[in-house]
């Protein structure tokens, strides 16, 4: 028997919304079972998330674990045959009874006396076995899309193809066949099966994850585990219906009406046999935890409260109600943590909003590095922010050497995005806000459109780009994925046009790229002009108010005879390679430009001590007054982030910008806008790796005439605030 540590999706710590408090293995009859425990628990029962089928590991629960772990102790384990657990040989090792006994062994190893069992698909069968035979260990049972072998319910479309027999073709459910798996059809089966598991449109990410997990398992193990479950190859199959009658704990069954793996009749019959409650998800398929994570999380949490022992329930906190007429106007502002540009413009908008409505109270749901900017300006960061999972950390982990595939990175951030939306959802359930503003809070916009009933206040969406675009080397596959995500967004907006009370574009119509959303989809600019109000670019400052550049230079310690080059790479840690390349080019640049001095700003997430000391260069950490330094410089070198580039454009300073490779926003959206203003010089990173090339680019840019650079309006924040104020 063997174990593996491979997973199909991005599985490093940085992609996790929450890390386990403990990991270990339970050993039963020589089989190692990898388990993990999350959360500290509370007054409610422990949750045991059961294995699903050996074709996927416990990571299938990644959208549930972070949310549930804030309210209870959560234990997961890789079922035998999957993930990091062993893969014993032979069908007899994979019977329903073995999986049920494994669950008890894990509970014992984790010190769990009693738990609510949550099972998806086959896991519901194993949970029934445990609940029937060990009622003292089970406080409740949630069966999601149960794939139970109930004699009274048939599935003709599947059962016409016997799993153990050869068939003349491999169409449809004929792919669900041991011979086909072992004789070269395993990959084809995986794609077919998971397309049936996730029947909802735009389920490409869920299918992609599951197929990768299935590859990790392999056909031989899946044959053994299926034979054991079905009673082939000498395995003993125990009838489930008699066991259902022995279940005495509360039972909740969730089933999708469009389940193509197991008919909703299975869920209905299981609820009848166990005396449980059935909730049917209209239009949903088999993979409810992955495709309907917010709804599933709510249902499990509601069931946990039902199962909590009365003696363990804490007294509810005192409640307070303020008469509506006497309530202050409250705004909850969500500012994207991927870079610091959002924070600066959002502060400007919030300040302008207060000028229009002095009594408004603004709270921020934000995370590092945004919180550093907010705290510097005395803003109120809501305590719920402590529960947000680190988006910047994930993005930094996805980055190579000045190479960040932004679309893929955000796509692989799905666990973090679900978790962070649940933080917002809980906050809005507890507290009243008049307006929620989401500045590129992608999870908020997506999951509110997926769950519009959760909108509890006015809602405004801010962004400086529209449309996911593929990188050329991504080929047809990436073009299809970006188009699919764009199509989902278009469908959301068409179905729920009033969910957003305002859609505000940070810029002008001409700043929108002229591309299409994808084949057969509308043009991005024409659609954006219909859907958005345009605030003009929000600089967050008026260049005229910064004062005389000479006085700024003197205040910053720059001599009159010095030529100052400011180098900045934004608020994340992805800019370290560019900083090193610039420092490598300092000697050559100083030979080309006598008196050249480099002021290198590492930002909040790069340790200045990690960069080499270089004659003629001074390295700073996070500086809250970066705009003043940009206004006082003679030239700048920056990444391709929009905010810093547009600040330099507004200040009419020459600059070289080096977009992150594979960063579609910097490569297409930002560059389009800068070209429109005639600002900056774009330098490809591969060329910037050569110190002579980078030094020459800096020297050339110093001599550039910036008088023709387009002027950036200074009233963007006021215009954006005027679009929001009537929502209060």
Least confident of 155-159, 254-258, 517-521, 563-567: 155-159
How far apart are the C-alpha atoms of 352 and 336, rounded to whole Å? 19
Measured CA to CA in angstroms, residue 357 lies from 350, 361, 363, 467 at distances of: 10, 9, 15, 33
| Statement: residue 5 has pLDDT above 60 | no
314 pLDDT band, cuts 50/70/90, is low
Least confident of 159-163, 193-197, 431-435, 716-720: 159-163
Where b means 16+ CB within 10 Å and e means fewer, 573-608 reads bbbbbbbbbbbbbbebbbeebeebbbbbbbbbbbee
Q: What is the pLDDT of residues 515-538, one digit of tens each?
A: 999 999 999 999 999 999 999 999
Asked if 622 contacts 603 with a C-beta cutoff of 8 angstroms, the reply is yes
User: Comparing C-alpha atoms, which of 94, 126, 115, 106 is closest to residue 34?
Assistant: 106
How far apart are the C-alpha atoms of 575 and 601, rounded to whole Å? 10
Which neighbouring-strand residues pair with 256? 281
Per-residue pLDDT at 542: 87
How far apart are the C-alpha atoms of 643 and 718, rounded to whole Å? 17
Helix (H, G, I), strand (E, B) or coil at 613: coil
| Statement: residue 32 has pLDDT above 90 | yes
Q: Which superfamily does CATH assign the domain made up of 325-539 to?
A: Glycogen Phosphorylase B; (3.40.50.2000)
Per-residue pLDDT at 534: 98
Residue 583 corresponds to which tokens in the numbers above? 């420092």
Domain ranges of the chain: 18-155+239-312, 325-539, 544-702
How far apart are the C-alpha atoms of 663 and 403, rounded to whole Å? 7
User: Which residues have CB under 8 Å from 477's CB, separation 6+?
Assistant: none
Phi, psi of 57 (to 5 degrees): -90, -175
Stated pTM of the model: 0.95
- Which segments of 70-183 does DSSP mark as H helices, in order? 96-110, 122-133, 156-159, 178-180
How far apart are the C-alpha atoms of 596 and 587, rounded to whole Å? 10
Dihedral angle sign, alpha carbons of residues 101, 49, 272, 313: positive
Helix (H, G, I), strand (E, B) or coil at 285: coil
Same CATH topology for 18-155+239-312 and 544-702? yes
Per-residue pLDDT at 320: 75
Q: Tell me what the mean pLDDT of segment 705-717 comes to.
A: 94
Q: What is the pLDDT of residues 478-493, one digit of tens each?
A: 999 999 999 999 999 9
Per-residue pLDDT at 442: 95
43 pLDDT band, cuts 50/70/90, is low
Per-residue pLDDT at 313: 52
User: Comparing C-alpha atoms, which of 292, 308, 303, 305 is closest to residue 251?
Assistant: 303
Which neighbouring-strand residues pair with 596? 563
Measured CA to CA in angstroms, residue 107 lies from 117, 163, 247, 308, 358 at distances of: 11, 33, 19, 18, 56
Q: Tell me what the mean pLDDT of segment 199-205 comes to.
A: 97
Per-residue pLDDT at 327: 85
Per-residue pLDDT at 3: 41
Measure CA 36 to chain center: 22
How far apart are the C-alpha atoms of 363 and 343, rounded to whole Å? 13
Q: What is the pLDDT of residues 57-95, one digit of tens each?
A: 999 999 999 999 999 999 999 999 999 999 999 999 999
How far apart are the C-alpha atoms of 338 and 395, rounded to whole Å? 8
Q: List the beta strands (DSSP E) in 671-727.
A: 681-682
- Helix (H) / strand (E) element for 212: namely helix 204-217
The interaxial angle of helices 414-430 and 442-450, nearest 10 deg, is: 70
Per-residue pLDDT at 528: 98
How far apart are the C-alpha atoms of 174 and 55, rounded to whole Å? 18
User: CB atoms < 10 A from the CB of 239, how many?
Assistant: 10
What does the mean pLDDT of the chain come to? 94
User: Comparing C-alpha atoms, which of 295, 599, 320 is closest to residue 450?
Assistant: 295
Asked if 228 contacts 119 with a C-beta cutoff of 8 angstroms, the reply is no
Helix (H, G, I), strand (E, B) or coil at 520: coil
Dihedral angle sign, alpha carbons of residues 460, 465, 466, 468: negative
Dihedral angle sign, alpha carbons of residues 59, 63, 66, 69: negative
Percent of the chain with pLDDT over 90: 86
- Backbone torsion region of residue 433, taken as left when φ is above 0, otherwise alpha when ψ lies between -120 and 50, otherwise beta: beta
Q: List the beta strands (DSSP E) in 596-634.
A: 596-601, 617-620
How far apart are the C-alpha atoms of 191 and 57, rounded to whole Å? 17
User: Which residues have CB under 8 Å from 604's CB, separation 6+?
Assistant: 340, 368, 369, 372, 571, 621, 622
Q: Which superfamily does CATH assign the domain made up of 18-155+239-312 to?
A: Alpha/Beta hydrolase fold, catalytic domain (3.40.50.1820)
450 pLDDT band, cuts 50/70/90, is very high
7 pLDDT band, cuts 50/70/90, is very low
Per-residue pLDDT at 6: 33
Asked if 590 contacts 562 with a C-beta cutoff of 8 angstroms, the reply is no
Least confident of 145-159, 380-394, 541-555, 648-662: 145-159
Phi, psi of 521 (to 5 degrees): -105, 160
604 pLDDT band, cuts 50/70/90, is confident
Q: What is the pLDDT of residues 345-402, one digit of tens each?
A: 999 999 999 999 999 999 999 998 899 889 999 999 999 999 999 998 899 899 999 9
Q: What is the pLDDT of residues 94-122, one digit of tens each?
A: 999 999 999 999 999 999 999 999 999 99
Per-residue pLDDT at 310: 54
Per-residue pLDDT at 338: 82
Domain 544-702 is in which class? Answer: alpha beta
């Amino acid at each position: 028997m063997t174990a593996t540590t491979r997973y199909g999706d991005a599985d490093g710590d940085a992609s996790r919304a929450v890390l386990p408090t403990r990991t270990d293995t339970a050993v039963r009859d020589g089989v190692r079972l990898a388990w993990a425990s999350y959360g500290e628990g509370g007054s409610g029962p422990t949750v045991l998330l059961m294995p699903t089928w050996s074709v996927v590991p416990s990571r299938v629960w990644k959208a549930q674990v972070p949310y549930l772990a804030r309210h209870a102790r959560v234990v997961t384990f890789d079922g035998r045959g999957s993930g990091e657990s062993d893969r014993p040989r032979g069908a007899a090792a994979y019977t329903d009874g073995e999986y049920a006994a494994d669950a008890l062994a894990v509970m014992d190893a984790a010190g769990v006396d009693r738990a609510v069992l949550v099972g998806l698909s086959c896991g519901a069968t194993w949970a029934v076995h445990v609940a029937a035979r060990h009622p003292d260990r089970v406080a409740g049972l949630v069966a999601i899309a149960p794939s139970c072998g109930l004699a009274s319910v048939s599935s003709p479309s599947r059962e016409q193809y016997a799993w153990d027999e050869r068939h003349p073709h491999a169409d449809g459910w004929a792919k669900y066949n041991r011979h086909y798996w072992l004789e070269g059809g395993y990959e084809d089966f995986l794609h077919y099966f998971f397309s049936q598991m996730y029947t909802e449109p735009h389920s490409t990410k869920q299918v992609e994850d599951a197929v990768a997990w299935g590859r990790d398992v392999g056909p031989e193990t899946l044959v053994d585990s299926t034979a054991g479950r079905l009673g082939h190859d000498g395995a003993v199959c125990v009838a489930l219906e008699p066991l259902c009658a022995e279940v005495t704990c509360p039972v909740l069954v969730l089933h999708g009406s469009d389940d193509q793996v197991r008919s909703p009749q299975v869920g209905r019959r299981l609820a009848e046999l166990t005396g449980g409650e059935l909730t049917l998800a209209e239009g949903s398929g088999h993979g409810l935890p992955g495709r309907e994570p917010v709804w599933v999380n709510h249902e499990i949490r509601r069931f946990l409260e039902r199962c909590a022992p009365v003696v363990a329930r804490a007294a509810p906190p005192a409640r307070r109600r303020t008469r509506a007429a006497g309530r202050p106007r409250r705004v909850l502002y969500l500012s994207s943590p991927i870079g610091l540009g959002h924070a600066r413009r959002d502060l400007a908008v919030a300040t302008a909003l207060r000028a229009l409505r002095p009594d408004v109270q603004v709270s921020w749901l934000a995370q590092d590095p945004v919180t550093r900017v907010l705290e510097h300006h005395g803003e109120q960061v809501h305590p719920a922010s402590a529960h947000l999972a680190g988006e910047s950390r994930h993005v930094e982990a996805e980055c190579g050497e000045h190479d960040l595939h932004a679309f893929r990175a955000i796509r692989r951030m799905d666990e973090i995005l679900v978790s962070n939306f649940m933080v917002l959802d809980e906050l809005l359930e507890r507290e009243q806000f008049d307006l929620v503003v989401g500045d590129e809070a992608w999870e908020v916009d997506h999951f509110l459109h997926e769950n519009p009933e959760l909108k509890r206040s006015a809602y405004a969406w801010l962004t400086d780009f529209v449309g996911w675009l593929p990188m050329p080397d991504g080929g047809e596959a990436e073009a299809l994925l970006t188009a699919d995500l764009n199509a989902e967004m278009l469908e959301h907006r068409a179905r729920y046009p009033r969910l957003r009370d305002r859609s505000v574009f940070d810029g002008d119509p001409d700043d929108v790229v002229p591309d299409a959303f994808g084949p057969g989809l509308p043009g991005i600019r024409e659609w954006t002009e219909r859907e958005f109000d345009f605030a003009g670019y929000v600089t967050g400052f008026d260049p005229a108010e910064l004062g005389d550049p000479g006085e700024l230079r003197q205040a910053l310690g720059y001599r009159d005879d010095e030529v100052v080059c400011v180098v900045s790479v934004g608020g994340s840690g992805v800019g370290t390679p560019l900083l090193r390349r610039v420092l490598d080019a300092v000697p050559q640049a100083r030979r080309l430009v006598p008196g050249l001095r480099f002021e290198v700003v590492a930002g909040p997430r790069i340790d200045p001590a990690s960069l080499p000391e270089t004659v003629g260069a001074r390295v700073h950490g996070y500086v809250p007054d970066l705009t003043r330094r940009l206004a006082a410089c003679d030239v700048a070198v920056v990444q391709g982030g929009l905010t810093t580039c547009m600040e330099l454009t507004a200040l009419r300073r020459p600059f070289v910008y080096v977009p992150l490779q594979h960063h579609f926003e910097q490569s297409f959206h930002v560059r389009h806008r800068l070209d429109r203003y005639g600002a900056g010089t774009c330098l490809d990173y591969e060329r910037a790796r050569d110190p002579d090339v980078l030094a020459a680019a800096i020297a050339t840019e110093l001599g550039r005439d910036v008088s023709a650079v387009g002027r950036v309006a200074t009233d963007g924040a006021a215009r954006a605030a005027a679009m929001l104020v009537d929502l209060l």
